[in-house]
Amino acid sequence: MSHDSSYKKFFSRADMVESLVRDFISEELAQELEFTTLEPMPTVFQKHGQTERRGDLIWRLQWRDGSPCLLAILLEFQSTIDKKMLCRLMEYATLFLEQTLDDDKSKGLALPKILPIVLYNGAKPWSAPCVYGELSERERLAYERGIWDFKYHLIDIRHLEESLVDKAKGISAWIFRFERAANVQEMERLWRVMFRALKNPAYENLRQEIIIWLETCVLPVRKISGAKIVIERLKEEEKMTVVTAEMEDWTLPYLNQGRAEGRLEGKLEGERIGELRGRHEGERIGELKGELKERTKVILRMLAEGFEDNLIARLVSVPLSEVKKLRLQI
């Protein structure tokens, strides 16, 4: 997996795009946008049989005030410096606007505003022009067709101000923090902090994608010592997290059922004795017996499916010795 394909995957998430605009472009602009209306747009352009042109990502969304003029966010991902990036983005913007004019659904609407963003993660500081006025005279003459004062927003990830990254609250900032990490110890620390922030199951796929990206893109290029060991540790931690969540969802109904059945058996036993105290004690004893019975079933099933004793003991909340005793019975 390449850096470009990884970033395309990350920023194919609407919440990632929103956090990028809020934390690294303009919070003031973000307040004016309705991010719930974000929709991905085609990025392949072809005009009158000419060579196909392909951008990285384009998102379109509405303004909160209901303005008929939409906003299009053009995202380009770079790991090397492209001196022609300004010209490329000018071309993509023009092609996108032409495509919008040709779209029947857009007829009668105002042309969208364009927000071009370049995310660059190279080691050297970005040195290509970001504003049309910075082009050479020769390049300007080639593009003087009514497009003036064009510029793009550059996010030079490895050279951002530390304070800007530190105060960022959105999920896109975690990608940037990993890019900027100096060693594996820092990456491990970041992972644990990130996990606390993104422990919601909705972020499970994102966490796994970050691990793959670190393993296949970041660490091989950075050649950081001890990287392989750290990746294996992160994979194991993520696996344990997923398994724990799944097993908690799976075991709870069994244990609740055991409590309910035990409570009913104890109640009947107490009523048979005919004493109030006996009925209450019978309910409690029956509940505990039922729960123990269902815990045993859960443990035996987990043992049969190959789970380790320590993990079973932690998930089912029983002494490790009890798990080992049941393993001997299999």
Residues 166 and 264 in one domain: no
Q: What is the pLDDT of residue 276?
A: 47
Residues 43 and 164 in one domain: yes
Residues 30 and 164 in one domain: yes
Residues 134 and 263 in one domain: no
Contacts 24+ apart (CB under 8 A), 264-272: 265/289, 265/290
Residues 66 and 154 in one domain: yes
DSSP for residue 36: E
**Continuous H helices in 103-161:** 137-143
Amino acid letter at 317?
S
**End position of a domain, from candidates 115, 143, 172:** 172
239 located within any domain: no
Residues 28 and 114 in one domain: yes
- List the chain residues with pLDDT less than 70: 1, 47-51, 104-109, 133-149, 224-227, 239-294
Q: What is the pLDDT of residue 252?
A: 52
Cβ–Cβ < 8 Å for 52, 93: no
Q: Per residue in 149-188, pLDDT tens?
A: 688 999 999 999 999 999 999 999 999 999 998 887 888 8
211 located within any domain: no
- Closest by CA to 118, choosing from 48, 57, 191, is 57
Total number of domains in the chain: 2
The residue segments making up the domain with residue 143 are 3-172
Helix orientation angle between 276-304 and 309-316, rounded to the nearest 10 degrees? 150
Cβ–Cβ < 8 Å for 72, 114: yes
Alpha-carbon radius of gyration of the chain: 29
CA pair distance 85, 132, nearest whole angstrom: 11
Q: What is the pLDDT of residue 140?
A: 55
